[in-house]
Amino acid sequence: MPRVLWWGRFDPDYSRNRVLRSLLPGIGWDVADFHPRASIVADIEARLRRIAKPELVWVPCFRQRDLAAASRWARRQGIPLLFDPLISAYDKQVFERKKIPIDSRRARRLHRWERSLFERADILVADTQAHADYFVAEFGIPKDRVHVVYVGAEESLFHPAPMPDHSNGSPIEVLFYGSFIELQAPQVIVQAARLYQGPPVRWTLLGNGPLRAECERLARGLDTVRFEDAVPYAQLPARIHQADILLGVFDAGAKAGRVIPNKVFQSLACGRPVVTRRSAAYPAACRDNGGRGLFWVDPCNPGALAQAVAKLALQLRDDPRIGQRAVEVYRDAFSGEVIAGQLRDAMAAAGAS
C-alpha cells in the first residue's frame, strides 16, 4: 500500500482527523505519523531520524506552523504535499475574533505569511465549496489546487436511532450543543425560545463557553429553557438520540456562512432533523431538499427560528419518517463513502499514486 505521512504537532483525536484517518485505509492508503519536537526545524529532525519516504505528506488541520518545514522536507524527497487547514488563521484573528485590526500592519503581515504557506502546498483541502472559494479569492490559490473534503461524522459513534416516544405527553426537546462562541450565536436560540408559539417544547443548550453567561441572563424567567454542561465526546451520540430537533449555527458573519458545523453532520447521522442558518456552504441538493432533514432560517433571526421550530414540532407529531429522511440526507451528501471519494480525488490531484 502507498503510505501517507501525517506530519506535525497535530491532535489525532480531533474529530476531523479521526474521520479522515479512518477512511484512508479503505481507499488503499497506509497511514504513518511524524510528530516532531519543534515545528520550525522538523525537516532537520526528519532527516536525522531517517523518516521513511512516503508517497504523500499530509499536514492536518490548524497546523500552519508545521507547513514550512514539511514542505522543505517534501521538496527534498520529491514528493507531493497536501494541507488541510480547516480554517484560515488570518480570517480567525482579524474577522472572527477581531483581535487584529483589518487595516493594521500586523494583519497584512499575517495575510502574507499565511498566503506564502498555502502556496507551498500542492493541494489545499477545504471543508466546503464556500471555504474553497474563499481560499481562491482571498489568497490567490489556483482553483485546481483546492479540493473539497467534507468534515463528516464518525459513523461508528454517530449512528441512527429511533425518534423519542412522546406518547406520555412529554415535550419535544430542541437541543443545541456547542462551545458558546460568536459564530454559533447561541443567544439567538434563547431569543427564539422567548418568542416561541407552538406545541410544547423544551429548549436545551449544552456546553460551556464565553457566551453561556449571556445566554443564561437572557433566559431568566423562561421555564422552557435549560442549560447542561458539556458531556464527554463518546457520550454525545446518546445525548443527541434523546432529543427531537437539533440546532446548528445562527451567526450572520461571513465565516458562519462558509462552514458546515460538526454538529450538523453528527445530528443528521444520528437521524435527527436540523435547523440551521441558510448558507451556500451546503451542496445545492441539500439547500433545495424541501425539508428532507435540513431546515433553513435566515441568520440572526430569532423570530424565523421560533417559527421553524414550531412548524417542525407540528410535523414531528404527524410524520414519523422525519428522522429517516435526516439519515438519507447524510448518506446522500456527507457519508463516509462520499468523503472517501473526495479524499481519493484530492490525493490523486496532488500527484500521489
Q: How far apart are CA 324 and CA 168, in angstroms?
A: 22
Quick check: is 141 in a domain?
yes
Which CATH number characterizes residue 89's domain?
Answer: 3.40.50.2000
Taking the C-alpha atoms of 135, 140, 144 and 148 in order, what is their torsion angle to the nearest 10 degrees? 0
pLDDT at 202: 98
Same domain, 97 and 33: yes
pLDDT tens track, the chain, 353 positions: 999 999 999 999 999 999 999 999 999 999 999 999 999 999 999 999 999 999 999 999 999 999 999 999 999 999 999 999 999 999 999 998 899 999 999 999 999 999 999 999 999 999 999 999 999 999 999 999 999 999 999 999 999 999 999 988 899 999 999 999 999 999 999 999 999 999 999 999 999 999 999 999 999 999 999 999 999 999 999 999 999 999 999 999 999 999 999 999 999 999 999 999 999 999 988 877 556 799 999 999 999 999 999 999 999 988 878 999 999 999 999 999 999 999 999 999 998 65
pLDDT in tens, 247-293: 999 999 999 999 999 999 999 999 999 999 999 999 988 877 556 79
Residue 27 shares a structural domain with residue 96:
yes
65-121 tens-digit pLDDT: 999 999 999 999 999 999 999 999 999 999 988 999 999 999 999 999 999 999 999
Residue whose C-alpha cell is 443545541: 176
Strand extents, DSSP E, 71-187 = 81-83, 123-126, 146-148, 172-177
Cell numbers that stand for 1 in this block: 500500500
Using left for φ > 0, alpha for ψ between -120 and 50, and beta otherwise, residue 4 falls in: beta
* Residue in this structure with the C-alpha cell 500500500, named with its chain if needed: 1
Structural Rg of the chain based on CA atoms: 21
Q: Is residue 165 part of a domain?
A: no
Within a domain: residue 308?
yes
Q: Do 83 and 109 fall within a single domain?
A: yes
Q: Are residues 223 and 274 in the same domain?
A: yes
Instruction: Check whether residue 18 and residue 144 sit in a common domain.
Output: yes
pLDDT of residue 353: 57
| Cα 328 from Cα 198, distance rounded (Å) | 27
Q: Looking at the structure, tell me whether residues 108 and 203 fall in a common domain.
A: no
- Residue 110 lies in domain: 3-152+335-349
Residues 180 and 303 reside in one and the same domain: yes
Whether 120 is covered by a domain: the verdict is yes
| Dist. CA 97–CA 231, nearest whole Å | 26
In a domain, 163, yes or no: no
